[in-house]
């Protein structure tokens, strides 16, 4: 890990700007959102591949601020909609689309839905956003799920009382289905094609009601979902089977704030936590293990998955579903030096990792072994 860059703001979110998948390019631009400052900001940073091409060992120096824009309220979630647009949700309940103009290197607001999440007589913080351009889905403490379209002023759809407790995160499972997690340990699956205001499926974490704070979907096998919550455990679920988690793994000693599968190499997974740690998880099957335990249609695995028996999708069971059992090997590595304040967010793209902390530091690692 490269050394910390202190940025004088508590960081709630860090996200890489997407790169086109056709090129084998590494990301070089990321956005951060701040929270709990008197004036919060969204800012765009470069890790400096722009001018200095002389150094090619991956340590070109500190991230440099490109541009920033004031953000009303805490940035509670932030996602890139595409290469130049960023969606944020705020503690004021607002949903905002920022545009990063790459010619003038400026940020500006191109659309805003103020008080999208609200109580009858107060603002309700919006806690999560998922994008599937042109569609945007947000969730909030008010228990609403709201669907927007980038090209429409009006809200497309609101699911009132989608949850009686707070919804903490949302992600797309398929183009028409989203998955939410709430503060009583439930995963709810919503089919946006259905007009009813009730979930098509509820999965829950036994009877302990441990609040869940983050969720991510396996990039290739869409039925596999990872979540993390208050007890810092990593849960892997198979939404097709049962309504209990498939495996539970000890991870952090405090709240897990984010979990991310590596977008192109899903044998790797990353989690960060209030306990100040960032973990890199890697499943690998010992060589004598059948190769079909490896993740499915992953391109780097094509040669091996070609050996998989022709028993259809059912037989290709992701190694993640076995957790830390004897059937697969799971290795975890700490990615940060000892740290005390919470790591609130991380993002992984290619070989590059970026994360941000309550200690107002950003860490970038350009050579994660994945």
Coarse DSSP helix, strand, coil percentages of the chain, rounded to the nearest 5 percent: 5, 45, 50
Binding status of residue 4 toward another protein by CB under 8 A: yes
The site map against another protein for 276-315 (x = CB under 8 A) is: ----------------------------------------
The H helix count followed by the E strand count for the chain is: 1, 30
Nearest distance from residue 213's CB to another protein, in Å? 8
**How many CB atoms within 10 Å of residue 345?**
24
In the bound state with another protein, the residue whose beta carbon lies nearer, of 164 and 314, is 164
Helix (H, G, I), strand (E, B) or coil at 322: helix
Binding status of residue 114 toward another protein by CB under 8 A: no
Part of the chain binding another protein (CB under 8 A), chosen from 71-79, 99-107, 236-244, 325-333: 71-79
Among residues 288, 289, 306, 285, the alpha carbon closest in space to that of 297 is found at 306
Binding status of residue 196 toward another protein by CB under 8 A: no
In the bound state with another protein, the residue whose beta carbon lies nearer, of 185 and 295, is 185
In the bound state with another protein, the residue whose beta carbon lies nearer, of 120 and 369, is 120
In the bound state with another protein, the residue whose beta carbon lies nearer, of 10 and 366, is 10
Binding status of residue 122 toward another protein by CB under 8 A: yes
Out of 43, 79, 96, 127, the only residue in the binding site for another protein (CB under 8 A) is: 127
Separation of first and last alpha carbons in the chain? 14
Residues 68, 76: Cα–Cα separation, whole Å: 17
Q: Could you tell me the two tokens for 348?
A: 């992984």
Q: Measured between alpha carbons, how far is residue 40 from residues 74, 97, 160, 263, 290 in Å?
A: 6, 16, 29, 29, 51
In the bound state with another protein, the residue whose beta carbon lies nearer, of 38 and 56, is 38
Give backbone dihedrals phi and psi of 114, rounded to 5 degrees, phi first: -75, 150
In the bound state with another protein, the residue whose beta carbon lies nearer, of 171 and 204, is 204
In the bound state with another protein, the residue whose beta carbon lies nearer, of 74 and 135, is 74
**How many CB atoms within 10 Å of residue 328?**
22
Residue pair 110/99 in contact by the 8 Å Cβ criterion: yes
- If binding means CB under 8 A, how many residues of this protein chain bind another protein? 51
Nearest distance from residue 251's CB to another protein, in Å? 16
Nearest distance from residue 199's CB to another protein, in Å? 9
Nearest distance from residue 82's CB to another protein, in Å? 27
Which residues, in sequence order, are CB contacts of 206 under 8 Å at separation 6+? 185, 244
Out of 54, 120, 312, 369, the only residue in the binding site for another protein (CB under 8 A) is: 120
Residue pair 233/249 in contact by the 8 Å Cβ criterion: yes
In the bound state with another protein, the residue whose beta carbon lies nearer, of 320 and 363, is 363
Q: Could you tell me the two tokens for 168?
A: 């903490």
- Strand intervals (E) in 198-246: 201-204, 212-217, 224-229, 234-238
Q: Could you tell me the two tokens for 220?
A: 């290739």
Binding status of residue 171 toward another protein by CB under 8 A: no
Out of 166, 171, 328, 345, the only residue in the binding site for another protein (CB under 8 A) is: 166
Give residues in contact with another protein (CB under 8 A): 4, 6, 8-10, 12, 35-38, 73-74, 76, 91, 119-122, 124-125, 127, 141-143, 161, 163-166, 183-186, 202, 204, 207-209, 230, 254-255, 274, 338-342, 358-361
């Amino acid at each position: 890990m490269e050394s910390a860059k202190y940025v004088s703001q508590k960081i709630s979110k860090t996200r890489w700007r997407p790169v086109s998948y056709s090129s084998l390019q590494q990301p070089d631009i990321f956005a951060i959102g701040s929270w709990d400052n008197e004036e919060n900001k969204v800012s765009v940073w470069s890790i400096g591949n722009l001018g200095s091409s002389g150094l090619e060992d991956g340590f070109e120096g500190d991230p440099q601020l490109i541009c920033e824009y004031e953000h009303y309220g805490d940035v509670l979630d932030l996602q890139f909609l595409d290469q130049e647009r960023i969606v944020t949700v705020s503690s004021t309940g607002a949903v905002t689309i920022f545009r990063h103009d790459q010619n003038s290197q400026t940020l500006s607001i191109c659309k805003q839905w103020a008080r999208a999440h609200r109580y009858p007589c107060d603002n309700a913080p919006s806690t999560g956003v998922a994008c599937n351009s042109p569609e945007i889905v947000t969730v909030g403490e008010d228990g609403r799920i709201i669907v927007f379209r980038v090209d429409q002023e009006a809200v497309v759809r609101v699911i009132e009382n989608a949850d009686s407790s707070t919804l903490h995160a949302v992600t797309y499972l398929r183009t028409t289905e989203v998955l939410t997690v709430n503060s009583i340990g439930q995963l709810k699956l919503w089919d946006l094609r259905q007009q009813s205001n009730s979930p098509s499926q509820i999965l829950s974490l036994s009877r302990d009601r441990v609040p869940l704070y983050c969720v991510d979907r396996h990039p290739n096998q869409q039925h596999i979902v990872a979540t993390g919550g208050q007890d810092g455990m990593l849960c892997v679920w198979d939404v097709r089977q049962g309504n209990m988690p498939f495996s539970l793994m000890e991870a952090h000693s405090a709240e897990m704030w984010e979990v991310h599968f590596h977008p192109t190499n899903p044998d790797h997974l990353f989690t960060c936590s209030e306990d100040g740690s960032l973990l890199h998880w890697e499943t690998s099957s010992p060589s004598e293990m059948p190769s079909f335990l490896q993740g499915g249609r992953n391109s780097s695995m094509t040669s091996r998955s070609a050996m998989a028996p022709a028993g259809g999708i059912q037989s290709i069971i992701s190694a993640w579903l076995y957790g830390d059992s004897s059937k697969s090997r799971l290795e975890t590595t700490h990615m940060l030096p000892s740290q005390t304040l919470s790591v609130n967010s991380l993002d992984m793209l290619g070989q590059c990792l970026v994360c941000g902390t309550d200690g107002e530091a950003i860490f970038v690692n350009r050579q994660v072994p994945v």
